[in-house]
Amino acid sequence: MPDLTDKQTFSDEDALDFHRLPAPGKISMAPIKPMATQRDLSLAYSPGVAVPVLAIAADIDKAYDYTSKGNLVAVISNGTAILGLGNLGHMASKPVMEGKAVLFKRFADVDSFDVEVKTTDPDEFITVVKNIGDTWGGINLEDIKSPECFEIEAQLQDLLDIPVFHDDQHGTAIISTAGLINAAHIAGKKLEDLKVVLTGAGAAGLSSIGLMKAAGVRAENTVIIDREGVVYKGRANVDQWKAAHATDTHLRTLEEAMVGADVVIGLSAKGAITKEMVASMAPNPIIFAMANPDPEITPEDVQSVRSDAIIATGRSDYANQVNNVLGFPYIFRGALDVRARRVNHEMKVACAQALAALAREDVPDEVAAAYRGRKLKFGRDYIIPTPFDPRLIWYIPPFVAQAAMDTGVARKPIEDMDEYRTRLRSRLDPSAALMQNISGAVRAAPNKRVVFAEGEETSVIRAAWGFKQAELGTPILLGREELIRKNAAEAGLNFDEMAIEIVNARVSEHNADYTDWLYERLQRRGYLRRDVQRMINQDRNYFAAAMCARGQADCMVTGVTRNFNMVLKEVRRVLDVKERMIGLSILLAKGRTLFVADTSIHELPNAEELAEIAIQAAETVRKLGKTPRVAFLSYSTFGNPPGDRAEKVREAIRILDARGVDFEYEGEMPPELALDPEQRAAYPFMRLSGHANVLVMPAIHSAAISTRLVQALGGATVIGPLLVGLEKSVQIVSLGASVSEIITAATFAAYEEGAIGEE
């Protein structure tokens, strides 16, 4: 049995930092219309806004045409059943609801906001949601406890003319049923023969068992269990929703019910299932332990007693994540795209079948790469698509939309399904895909040894641990063992468990070799042996770079405690440049990925250097999986106005023309011409086939200033500058970089040594 575990890759502090920094929360709002001029203001607000107001007053459905309603979903909770943590109040549910909202955006480009309602009274809750309901294209109810959730959802769906979908019920039912269809197939069992035990007769459990029966599981072969034990026919104090699934059975406890069962579906709480129970199940048992954040039983415990089990959990850090994240984004995408009035049974069945079918299809390499480099093939460890599968966005919603159209709940049918699929593909955020591909490629061959030069820093220790836990490669911490252990302990980490190699420069067995070797390099550059000995003994960047040069490490990360130029100077004394070295920043904004060069090396590049920068940037971008289209930026547009700097750019273009390079380039031009092909009418001779994705800046100050400006004002995410072109990859983060930034830098270092270095 393969090792299914990845173990948790973060500490509590990491989770809090993630939610706190750089700004609290996980969500923000961005306008999609310009708000720059007086005219914009007049159109967006008074008086222009009066026109759509009147149109909607005359026909309420016009809100779909003139407002964001049609792509807007509310995630609404009162916090009475937050994951499996129980009733912790409406505000405590906000991180989960914000989380669902960002997943809507990330996976299906659905705009979403969370609403936490401060009441446990179902009638009051219904009144609140009913009165704000028309604002949205759909409502995702979340983490509301049973049995109240059933009445709440049913009444709201009657009151509102948009989908009201309690995700814990139906999202979970769809995913668990899809998983069960496939798991049964793999186990060689038929749905109608399966003996199914459900532990957790709540929102998720009852809906799941209901859909499983609709898919073919026989009612008499099921047993459902709550905190009191088996819900048998005739049991006292059983509500109508549980009673609907009660069976005529002599069984009274979960232990008894599990004997000989083919399937156990856990939608209850941590630890509800024991190893002994699993041991008593039928051959090839199917165990879905779906409680969050901790499952009813861990896969490790199942494996310790049953090597023939098919196991799934709700968590992302084990194989087979059976979690409603695979459902709600795509169900709502399909429902919104036909302006559905509700999500009905047929739409849910269509979604479950589509998910089950997708898992059986051949998994393209890009998907495997995106998911930890695992070879994904339909089987015991891959019964359901992974959440990062980029096919989900165009594969699933058409089935949901079609079912809505077939059953008469679509206001606006889709006319051309092929065209719809193409449109869906373009919704996937390319910037997220880039990071995914890079991490995926590194994970696929996690064989790089990355030396973290500032190994005594707490943030670096945490980053090295995160890097190791995410299976990105082998970290090495440079520093004094005692201090590293002390700082790790203060960060709440157990260094013995982490098992990360520590190298202390002063006592390293390689110290003499590095000193001899570096002295050889530097003796005619003004350095005495004792200078070199001091550098190797006392300066972590020299030692770490020497580790890379001499083969004890593949690449390095540094910069947390010392500024870029100083670090670069030190590293350059040890490592050579391959052909040319540049700084490349990645700018992620508004669904676009732009590469900006040179953001760190050439201060005032001449024409030759500009051409070299373009060549290096294009080569790197290509190796990151993109087709480069290079624009040389300037204040000047093709000679107007003339000037010294602009002339250098023109000369760079001539150099590239003469060299006959194999990528598109053009210049000199201002950013708007580079980024927006529609503005190029006056320049029909321009040679770029689309918007530019590599921006070569005329000088380092314009490069550095512009990237920081868009980061500060435009809300763009900037990664880097990445240092490209040294003989061994060295990534220099900014002073005081966060744990995530250090991990990203280490990932790029490993990527450059692998994907780029080995080509």
Ligand X SMILES: NC(=O)C1=CN([C@@H]2O[C@H](COP(=O)(O)OP(=O)(O)OC[C@H]3O[C@@H](n4cnc5c(N)ncnc54)[C@H](OP(=O)(O)O)[C@@H]3O)[C@@H](O)[C@H]2O)C=CC1
CA–CA separation, 663 vs 659, rounded Å?
11
Q: Which does 268 bind (CB under 5 to 8 A by kind): Mg ion, ligand PYR, ligand X, none?
A: ligand X
Q: Pick one of Mg ion, ligand X, ligand PYR, none as the site partner of residue 649 (Cβ within 5 to 8 A by kind).
A: none
Residue with CB nearest ligand X? 202
Q: Which is nearer to ligand PYR, 140 or 620 (CB)?
A: 140
Residues 184-213 that bind ligand X (CB under 6 A): 199-205
Q: Alpha helix (H) ranges present in 607-670? A: 607-623, 644-659
- Strand locations in 251-401 (E): 263-266, 286-289, 310-313
Does 718 participate in binding ligand X (rule CB under 6 A)?
no
Q: Does 153 bind ligand PYR (CB under 6 A)?
A: no
Six-digit token string for 154? 């049913």
Long-range residue pairs from 293-300, CB within 8 A, at least 24 positions apart, any chain: 293/83, 293/84, 293/85, 294/84, 294/270, 295/266, 295/270, 296/199, 296/266, 296/268, 296/269, 296/270, 296/271, 296/272, 297/266, 297/271, 297/272, 297/273, 299/4, 299/5, 300/5
Minimum CB separation of residue 327 from ligand X in Å reads 8
User: Which residues, listed in sequence order, are joined to residue 583 by a DSSP beta bridge?
Assistant: 723
**List 43, 72, 83, 432, residue binding ligand PYR (CB under 6 A):** 83
Using the rule CB under 6 A, is 143 a contact of ligand PYR? yes
As a whole number of angstroms, the distance between CA 571 and CA 561 comes to 15
Min dist CB 597 to ligand PYR, Å, is 42
* Amino acid at site 240: Q
- Options 183, 257, 272, 442; binder of ligand X; rule CB under 6 A: 272
Name which of 594, 700, 607 is nearest 653 in CA terms. Answer: 607
Q: Give how far Cα 691 sits from Cα of 431, 657, 704, Å.
A: 15, 20, 21
Nearer to ligand X, 81 or 246 (CB): 81
Among 177, 280, 320, 323, binds ligand PYR (CB under 6 A): 323
**Residue span binding Mg ion (CB under 5 A) among the ranges 161-169, 387-395, 527-535, 715-723:** 161-169
Q: Which stretch binds Mg ion (CB under 5 A): 165-173, 620-628, 670-678, 699-707?
A: 165-173
Q: Is 145 in the site for ligand X (CB under 6 A)?
A: yes
404 is a site residue for ligand X (CB under 6 A): no
Task: Give the interface segment with ligand X, choosing from 76-84, 297-305, 378-386, 604-612 (CB under 6 A).
Answer: 76-84
Binding mask 472-511 for ligand PYR (x = CB under 6 A): ----------------------------------------
**Does residue 599 touch ligand PYR according to CB under 6 A?**
no
C-alpha 67, offset from chain centre: 28
Which 3 state secondary structure label does DSSP give 666? Answer: strand
Q: Can residue 148 be called a binding residue for Mg ion (CB under 5 A)? A: no
Could you give the count of Cα atoms lying within 13 Å of 473 in the half-sphere of its Cβ?
A: 32
Q: Is 116 in the site for Mg ion (CB under 5 A)?
A: no
End-to-end CA separation in angstroms for the chain = 34
Residue 529 parent element (H or E): helix 529-538
Tell me: does residue 114 bind ligand PYR (CB under 6 A). no
CB 82, min distance to Mg ion, A: 8
By CB under 6 A, residue 731 contacts ligand X: no
Point out the annotated binding site for NADP(+): 82-89
Q: Which residue, 205 or 721, has its beta carbon nearer to ligand X?
A: 205
Contacts of 366 (CB under 8 A, 6+ apart): 390, 437, 440
Q: Which does 598 bind (CB under 5 to 8 A by kind): Mg ion, ligand PYR, ligand X, none?
A: none
Query: Which residue's C-beta sits nearest to ligand PYR?
Result: 292
Question: Which span sits near ligand X by CB under 6 A: 286-294, 492-500, 631-639, 704-712?
Answer: 286-294
> Is there a contact between 743 and 719 (Cβ–Cβ < 8 Å)?
no
Interface with ligand X (CB under 6 A), residue total: 29
Q: Tell me whether residue 170 is exposed, middle or buried, using C-beta atoms within 10 angstroms of its C-beta: 0 to 12, 13 to 18, 19 or more.
A: buried
Taking a C-beta distance cutoff of 8 angstroms, is the pair 4, 318 a contact? yes
Is 111 a binding residue for Mg ion by CB under 5 A? The answer is: no
Q: What Å distances lie between residue 209 and 180, 202, 204, 230, 266, CA to CA? A: 11, 10, 9, 14, 11
Q: Confirm whether 26 is a catalytic residue.
A: no
What does 226 bind: ligand PYR, ligand X, Mg ion, none (CB cut-off 5 to 8 Å by kind)?
A: ligand X
514 burial (CB, 10 Å; 0-12 / 13-18 / 19+) is: buried
According to the binding rule CB under 6 A, does residue 267 interact with ligand X? yes
Q: How far is CA 514 from the centre of its chain?
A: 41
Find the catalytic residue in 26, 62, 94, 100: 100
Does position 273 interact with ligand X (CB under 6 A)? The reply is no
| 262 forms part of the interface with Mg ion (CB under 5 A) | no
Give the nearest distance from C-beta 730 to ligand PYR in angstroms: 41
Contact 367, 162 (CB under 8 A): no
Given the rule CB under 6 A, which of 62-70, 81-89, 417-425, 616-624 is the region that contacts ligand X? 81-89
Residue 722: closest CA among 608, 573, 557? 557
168 binding ligand PYR? (CB under 6 A)? yes
**Residue 296 sits in the site that holds Mg ion (CB under 5 A):** no
In whole angstroms, what is the distance from residue 283 CA to residue 260 CA? 8
Contact region with Mg ion (CB under 5 A), list: 166-174, 233-241, 295-303, 516-524: 166-174
Reduce the DSSP state of residue 338 to 3 states and report it: coil
- Asked if residues 253 and 229 have their Cβ atoms less than 8 Å apart, the reply is yes
Over 302-332, what HEC string results?
A: HHHHCCCCEEEECCCCECCECCHHHCHHHHH
Stretch that binds ligand X, among 40-48, 79-87, 129-137, 521-529 (CB under 6 A): 79-87
Answer whether the bond into residue 721 is a cis peptide, omega within 30°: yes
Q: Is residue 246 a contact residue for ligand X (CB under 6 A)?
A: no
Q: How many angstroms separate the CA atoms of 563 and 361, rounded?
A: 50
| 329 near ligand PYR, rule: CB under 6 A | no
Q: Could you say whether residue 324 binds ligand PYR (CB under 6 A)?
A: yes
Binding site for Mg ion (CB under 5 A): 143, 168
Give me the residues that bind ligand PYR (CB under 6 A), please.
Answer: 83, 143, 167-168, 292, 314, 323-324
Which residues are at the interface with ligand X (CB under 6 A)?
81, 83-84, 145-146, 168, 172, 199-205, 225-228, 267-269, 272, 290-292, 314, 322-324
Residues known to be catalytic: 100
